Structure 1
Amino acid sequence: MDLPVIIRRKVQRYENETFSEREANVVTEYALTVYIDGQEFVTLVCTPTDLEDLVIGFLASEGVLTSCEEIRSLTISEEDGVAYVRLATPFVIDPQMFGKRYIASCCGKGRQSFYFYQDAALAKPIAVAPQITPGQIVSLIDRMQRASNLFHATGGVHNASLCTVDKVLLSRFDIGRHNALDKLYGYQIRENLASDKLVIAFSGRISSEVLLKVAKMGIGIVLSKSAPTALALQIADDLQLTTVGFVRKGAFSVYTHPERVRREWAE
């Protein structure tokens, strides 16, 4: 069953001081409820593509699993909007671990930030990451944007790409920026890709939650055509992530850990 990602809808368009009736592309929303060992765990509101990667990536980012070997079975009923996951080790939802936000000191440096319990447990400092040139930064964002067909058609999704410094390996899109990253994470886990050579290219704002998801993936460089938040940069400083924002028209700003950005242009 192929779920639609675009519908056509009549709209009243105002342009050049005149109204006219037209048809427009509108992106769809889809609710996917995930059950783990028979227990309802979460409902994800998403774009209905790459759902298996989305489920695997989300569960990994929540600390439920670390590899596909831990999954006994994963079945998705697209018609019913349900994903059934069976794990090799029986799973019990612990409310102390999932969904409880608390204040933690970042990496022992004395500053305080709000985290979910699992964020603090899973987001570790990134010791190893590639070196990247200005030309490669600009090129990766440009390639991500050129591959964003659904955004060009609807304007209603976020885009994210899993890259090496010189190549886009995979692009995913979703109405939720977190979902787009989870789809990449699920692919990374299924393909067992080493994180120390990877870079994330991203279309949206780098919030603290986006930054933490990238850290959980073990990836040390995140590029975006948009801006970061102050809390995201505080966490990036502590977790040793290189954060590059406003990648537009051949220019960008390096906010954290600039030592990974080389000074020569080379693509």
Structure 2
Amino acid sequence: MSVKKTIVRYNEGLFQTVEDDIVTEFPLTIYINNEEFATMVCTPAHFEEMVIGFLASEGVIRFRREIKSLKIDEEAGFAYIKIDGTINTQRNFSKRFIGSCCGKSRQFYFQNDVQTAKTSTSTVKLTAQQCIKLMEKMQEVSQVFKGTGGVHNAALCTNDEMIVGRADIGRHNALDKLYGHCLLNKIAVRDKVLVFSGRISSEVLTKAAKIGVGIVLSKSAPTELAIELAEDLNITAVGFIRGKSFNVYTHPERIIQEPEE
């Protein structure tokens, strides 16, 4: 997922020619029933997971079994999918829909988000120390980021352990890969935690709601709209997990004090 390139590095008054790891960027075009559907610019790894997670998050499928065939041509950069029925490949996926969310406030969604984003029913709770430890575990295994600094990292976790981690140049792609992994391996997500390296934007929060988790942990900050969406979708958003501190922005009842010894 990275290549070596010769660069010129400046450090403390000196220029030096060195070899550096550069993250790979790769376009993958998806065809559904022989019609072009979308092109994703991604890190070339875990293609099947990413495609399945993307189609599920867009509402094209709900389960892996709905895909009759899936072929990835990595050399040419194409994914060919067969599903039952037809799909409107001319659909405007960027058209906004303004509606009420859980009857609380008016929010902005893409049209397909209205049907696929789920209000969380998770009863999972984390201690403060578990939040910090899960972020540390995700960062410890992020080898591509350590080598290149050019990817987003995401992980699906239990209270104490990381189940699976994925990296990609696109934050949405990293989340789609996790979603696809869950669908392929029939992993229940309602009792899981999403750990993320980047900013919690409204789109990232909506993607987490589509996956179905109830807690999102991030090293970075949330946006105002992401906080509003998290409130409405019953998702606990935790940001700025750095060192021994963090901020809880929504539904703080899921983040609890350490048990007394």
TM-score (norm 2): 0.96
Alignment equivalent of 1:40, drawn from 25, 36, 41: 36
Unmatched 5+ stretches in structure 1: none
Aligned-pair Cα RMSD in Å: 1.3
Among 210, 214, 218, the alignment partner of 1:216 is 210
SS in 2 for 1:195: coil
Q: What is the aligned counterpart of 2:101 among 103, 106, 124?
A: 106
Return the alpha-carbon distance in structure 1 between the equivalents of residues 139 and 94 of structure 2. 33
Distance in 2 between the 1:205 and 1:249 partners?
17
What pairs with 1:20-169 in structure 2 (closer than 5 Å)?
A: 20-87=16-83, 89-93=84-88, 95=90, 98-109=93-104, 111-169=105-163
CA contact (8 A) 2:157 2:192 kept: yes
1:129–1:219 CA contact under 8 A, matched in 2: no
Which one-letter code corresponds to 1:140 in the other structure?
L
Amino acid at match of 1:63: G
Tell whether the 8 Å contact from 2:35 to 2:89 is kept in structure 1 after alignment.
no
Runs of 4+ in 1 over 2 A off after TM superposition: 94-99
Q: Structure 1 residues 201 and 265 mapped into 2: Cα distance closer, same or farther (>3 Å)?
A: farther
Q: Distance in 1 between matches of 2:185 and 2:219?
A: 27
**Is 1:172 equivalent to 2:166 in the alignment?**
yes
By how many angstroms is 1:106 displaced?
A: 2.2
For each residue in 1:174-219, what CA deviation from the matched residue of structure 2 results, as whole angstroms up to 9, or x when unmatched? 0001100000000011111112211000000000000000000111
Per-residue deviation at 1:97?
Answer: 6.3
Measure, in 2, the Cα distance between the counterparts of 1:149 and 1:43: 26
1:239 to 228, 233, 244: 233
TM-score, normalisation: structure 1: 0.94
Separation (CA, whole Å) in 1 of partners of 2:92 and 2:209: 18
